[in-house]
Copies of this chain bind each other. A is one copy, B any other.
Amino acid sequence: METSIAETSVVELIESKKHKELKERVANLNSIDLAEEFESLNREQQVVLFRSLPKDAAADVFAHLPAETKENLIEFLTDPELAHIVNDLFLDDAVDFIEEMPANVVKRVLKNASEDTRKQINQLLQYHEDSAGSIMTTEYVDLKEEMTVKEAFARIRRVGMDKETIYTCYVVDNKRVLDGVVTVRTLLLADASDRVGDVMETNVLYAATGDDRERVVELFRKYDLIAMPVVDTEKHLVGIITVDDVMEVMKEENTEDFYKMAAMMPSDDSYLASGVFELAKKRIFWLLVLMVSATFTGGIITRYERLLAVFPTLIAAIPMLMDTGGNAGAQSSTLIIRGMAVGELGISDWLPIFWKELRVSSLVGAILGVLNVGYKWILSGDPRLALTIGCSLFATIVLAKIIGCMLPLLARALRFDPALMAAPIVTTIVDAGGLVVYFRVAEALMRL
């Protein structure tokens, strides 16, 4: 019997109205896999599946559903059902959920939340979306210094069920000022009669609610944390951040950087779920800006039209110079942007970066330049043309790498996002600079 249930798909169980089997089936699945089952169902089937979930799992499954499915379900749920879910969600999930919903749904959700939940949700909603406060939850285990280890365990057992993590507990005084942290590991290895205040760690890493969430990611990575307290300006404990949310932030921040570095506006929506207009909107702004800039590069060519009319063979090298310059610049800017994003490089490193890129670019430029001189000489039989191309390539690569490494640092210094100073912009600037160099060198060498 067990096997036959396992072989029937969830959608088949819903269609054939086998409610008992359906309940048995879903009881064996974890919330994340259950949430995935919703994807292949229609609206009515989603409601049937949701109502067949065990009561204590419903909120957790709900938290993992896509926004669209959540909105659909809410429409069908009764007020008491909705109240149960909202009050049962972890607060950070509740806040994410509310941020995804349209205003009329939010109103209904908040109306059904308990007063306590509503108050806490409203507080969390105030934090800026890139701040530590926006990714924290207010559900943690707090202890007092004067408790014994035994009393601490009793408290963990009593309140722990609904907390996002119990493995790090936070010790606060009567005014909720953070005094220290103590891990369950420490408590397990201590004597039952030890005082929490004596075994806790007082040298605590914490974030302020307004801290940048990227900084939080750095601290988690550097110190191998699984949770971190968040305090307000008077060091009152207001929440904690857990490692699962930090991994999500890491993914989001990286995706954002990938998008920005490819001249797109960042987006949280999945590709397949995004509409054509939405995708086009995210892409057209930078394409337009860069197109206009590239038009100026075209203007440079127009200025040297007479030179090109006399030496038409110069034109053929333009794509190679532009592409190689762009690629060389993109390499340097990517290295510096990534180095800053993971905290390995900073503005203060500008001099060693400059010096290193100058040497690397000279070496790379010299090798590629010499190769080009030889190749073009053999191919065209014109040593002056070959020398012009080789020298210009060398100069373009050095220029590209210097611009490529300095622009992101300059952006950071001016408090812009360095990720915007990536391949597309660097390429556009280097193209213009490289062509000017090329035509100047050509004028000097070809007219000898």
Asked if A287 CB lies within 8 Å of chain B CBs, one says: yes
- Is B291 touching A364 in the complex (CB atoms < 8 A)? no
- Is B297 touching A342 in the complex (CB atoms < 8 A)? no
**Given contacts A188-B166, A323-B291, are A360 and B317 in contact (CB under 8 A)?**
no
- Is A359 touching B271 in the complex (CB atoms < 8 A)? no
Contact with B along A350-379 (1 / 0, CB 8 A): 001100100110011001100110000000
**Residue of B with least CB distance to A223:** B32
**Given contacts A166-B188, A324-B287, are A247 and B244 in contact (CB under 8 A)?**
no
- Is B262 touching A331 in the complex (CB atoms < 8 A)? yes
Interface residues of A in 247-295 (CB under 8 A from B): 247-248, 250-251, 254-255, 257-259, 261-264, 270-272, 276-277, 279-280, 283-284, 286-288, 290-291, 294-295
Asked if A444 CB lies within 8 Å of chain B CBs, one says: no
Contacts of A224 in B (CB 8 A): 32, 244
- Is A203 touching B30 in the complex (CB atoms < 8 A)? yes
**Given contacts A283-B360, A319-B431, A327-B424, are A342 and B251 in contact (CB under 8 A)?**
yes
Cα of A295 to Cα of B352 in the assembled complex, Å? 34
Interface residues of A in 214-259 (CB under 8 A from B): 220-224, 226, 243-244, 246-248, 250-251, 254-255, 257-259
Contacts of A143 in B (CB 8 A): none
Contacts of A276 in B (CB 8 A): 356, 359-360, 363
- Is B323 touching A431 in the complex (CB atoms < 8 A)? yes
Residue in A153, A156, A327, A353 whose Cβ sees the most chain B Cβ within 10 Å = A327
Cα of A319 to Cα of B297 in the assembled complex, Å? 6
- Is B297 touching A223 in the complex (CB atoms < 8 A)? no
**Residue of B with least CB distance to A205:** B30
Asked if A315 CB lies within 8 Å of chain B CBs, one says: yes
Asked if A2 CB lies within 8 Å of chain B CBs, one says: no
Cα of A328 to Cα of B290 in the assembled complex, Å? 11
Contact with B along A330-347 (1 / 0, CB 8 A): 110111111100101100
- Is A323 touching B297 in the complex (CB atoms < 8 A)? yes
Interface band, chain A: 35 or more
Contacts of A270 in B (CB 8 A): 339, 344
- Is A287 touching B368 in the complex (CB atoms < 8 A)? yes
- Is A262 touching B368 in the complex (CB atoms < 8 A)? no
**Residue of B with least CB distance to A156:** B188
**Given contacts A258-B338, A331-B263, A423-B262, are A315 and B308 in contact (CB under 8 A)?**
yes
Cα of A316 to Cα of B315 in the assembled complex, Å? 11
- What DSSP secondary structure best describes chain A's contact surface? helix
> Residue A264 contacts which of B319, B323, B331, B352 (CB distance < 8 angstroms)?
B331
Whole-angstrom distance between the Cβ of A310 and the nearest chain B Cβ: 11
Contacts of A246 in B (CB 8 A): 247
- Is A188 touching B157 in the complex (CB atoms < 8 A)? yes
Asked if A161 CB lies within 8 Å of chain B CBs, one says: yes
> Residue A326 contacts which of B308, B317, B427 (CB distance < 8 angstroms)?
B427
Cα of A288 to Cα of B166 in the assembled complex, Å? 55
Contacts of A188 in B (CB 8 A): 153, 156-157, 160, 166, 184
Cα of A277 to Cα of B290 in the assembled complex, Å? 33
**Given contacts A203-B28, A319-B298, are A287 and B338 in contact (CB under 8 A)?**
no
Whole-angstrom distance between the Cβ of A224 and the nearest chain B Cβ: 4
A interface residue numbers (CB < 8 A to B): 28, 30, 32, 153, 156-157, 160-161, 166-167, 184-185, 188-189, 203, 220-224, 226, 243-244, 246-248, 250-251, 254-255, 257-259, 261-264, 270-272, 276-277, 279-280, 283-284, 286-288, 290-291, 294-295, 297-299, 301-302, 305, 308-309, 312-313, 315-320, 322-324, 326-328, 330-331, 333-339, 342, 344-345, 349, 352-353, 356, 359-360, 363-364, 367-368, 371-372, 397, 423-424, 427-428, 431, 435
7 A-B residue pairings within 8 Å (CB atoms): A161-B189, A184-B184, A261-B334, A272-B345, A297-B323, A305-B315, A322-B323
